[in-house]
Amino acid sequence: MVTENRRLVEEVSGWLRVFDDGSVDRRWTGPPEVQFMVEPVAPHDEFVDGVSTKDVVADKSSGLRVRLYLPKRKPEDDDTKLPIILHFHGGGFCMSQADWYMYYHIYTKLSRSTNAIVASVYQRLSPEHRLPAAIDDGYSALLWLRSLARGEQKEPLLSHADFNRVFLIGDSTGGNIVHHLAAQAGTADLSPLRIAGGILIHPGFVRVERSKSELEQPQSPFLTLDMVDKFLGLALPVGSTKNHPITCPMGPEAAPLDILKLPPFLLCVASKDLMVDTEMEYFEAMKKADKDVELLINEGVSHSFYLNKIAVDTDPDTAAETERLIAGIKQFIKNHYD
C-alpha cells in the first residue's frame, strides 16, 4: 500500500522513481514536448496507414499480453503466409510498454515495409519483477506461438501467419532478450515453429568496467550513464554485476558462444551509442565462435535514434539513417525467409 510517508530511494533521469515501500512511479517528468512518445496508443481494428493493431492474451494463467501489428492484405495475398516478427521493447528492463507511441510509430512502419505480422510482448518490468522475468515472458510468448502453430490454440488474426518464419527483434535491452531467448530456443522442441533469425538493435551489452565509448561518446535522451547503471542495478538478480550473462553474453560468466545453437543474427549498432564498444566486442566474439552474424552500422546517430519521433521528423540525417535501418532489417528478413 502506498502511503504519504513513503521515501524516495532511487530516481532515474526523469523516467522512474522507486520508493521505500516498493512502489514505483513511472510517470514521465522530463521535457513535456517528449510526453507524447511515452503515451499508450489504443489498439485499432481499422487499418491506419495500412496497419491494424490488437492486444491479445498469450498466457491466460499469467495474463501475459501481446500487441499485434497486422499489415493490410492485398487481394492477391489471400493465400500468402506472412512472417512473424516477435518484438521485445527496451527500457533497461525497468520501463516502457509495448503500446507506447515510440514503438507504435516504428513497428507499424516495419510491419508495413516487410509485410510481416509484428507481435510485441508486454513483458514484466523491474524492479517489481527482476530478471529473468522479462526473458521468461519472451519464452512464454514463443510457446504461445508454438501452440498456435500446432493447432492447440486458436487466434484468428494469425490464420495467415507463417510459423516456420519467426524472427526475433529487440530494441536496446530487448536485444539482450533476443540473444538469450534464441539460445534457450536452441535447446527446445518448438516444431513446427522455427526461428529464422534474430535482430538485435543497440543491445544493452556492457561490462563492469567502463568502455571507451561509455567514457567518450555523448549521452543522449534515450541513454545516459545514469540510466545504464541504475536500470541494470534495479533489474539484474540481487548480488549480480553488469558482468552477468544477460548483460555480458560474451563475458566469462556466460556460456561459451561456440556451444550455443543460434539462428542467423543481424546486429544493428549506432556509431555514437554509449555501448557501441561492447556491442562490437559481442560481434567479434560471435564471429570468433563461427556464428552467422551480420553487422549494420548507422553513422552519426546515437542509441535508439529511430524511436525518437521528434528527431526523425526534424533532422534529415536521423530520418535517413532510420530508413537505412528499416531497409537493412527488411533485407535481412528477405535473405532468411526462403
Q: Which helix (H) or strand (E) segment is 293 a member of?
A: strand 293-298
> What's the confidence (pLDDT) of residue 14?
83
Residues 6+ apart with CB under 8 A from 113: 326, 330
pLDDT of residue 77: 67
Would residue 284 count as lying in a domain? yes
Query: pTM for the complete prediction?
Result: 0.97
Query: Do residues 168 and 178 lie in contact, with contact meaning Cβ atoms separated by under 8 Å?
Result: yes
Closest CA to 160 of 144, 149, 150: 149
Examine residue 27 and state whether it is found in any structural domain, yes or no.
no
What pLDDT was estimated at residue 1?
44
State residue 95's pLDDT score.
96
The CATH number that applies at residue 79 is 3.40.50.1820
Tell me if 328 is assigned to some domain.
yes
> Do the domain assignments include residue 205?
yes
Residue 31 lies inside a defined structural domain of this protein: no
Three-state DSSP state, 110: helix
First to last CA, the chain: 53
DSSP element (H, E) containing 163: strand 161-171
Q: Which three cell numbers stand for residue 317?
A: 540525417
Q: Note if the bond before 221 is cis, omega within 30 degrees.
A: no
What pLDDT is stored for residue 338 in this prediction?
67
Is 163 within the bounds of a domain? yes
**Cell numbers for 153:** 490454440
- At 223-272, the pLDDT tens digits run 999 999 999 999 999 999 999 999 999 999 999 999 999 999 999 999 99
Q: Which domain holds residue 317?
A: 40-336
Placement of cell 500487441 in the chain: 67
Specify the pLDDT at position 178: 98
Please say whether the beta carbons of 23 and 31 come within 8 A.
no
Identity at 303, one-letter amino acid code: H
Q: How many domains does the chain have?
A: 1
Distant-in-sequence, close-in-space partners of 91: CB < 8 Å, separation ≥ 6: 125, 172, 173, 231
pLDDT for 132:
98
**CA–CA separation, 325 vs 98, rounded Å?**
20
Structural domain contains residue 50: yes
Which residue ranges of the chain lie beneath pLDDT 70? Answer: 1-4, 76-78, 338
Length of the chain measured in residues: 338
In a domain, 158, yes or no: yes
What residues are annotated to the active site? 172, 273, 303
Bridge partner list, 52: 70
β-pairing verdict for 265-270 and 51-59: unpaired
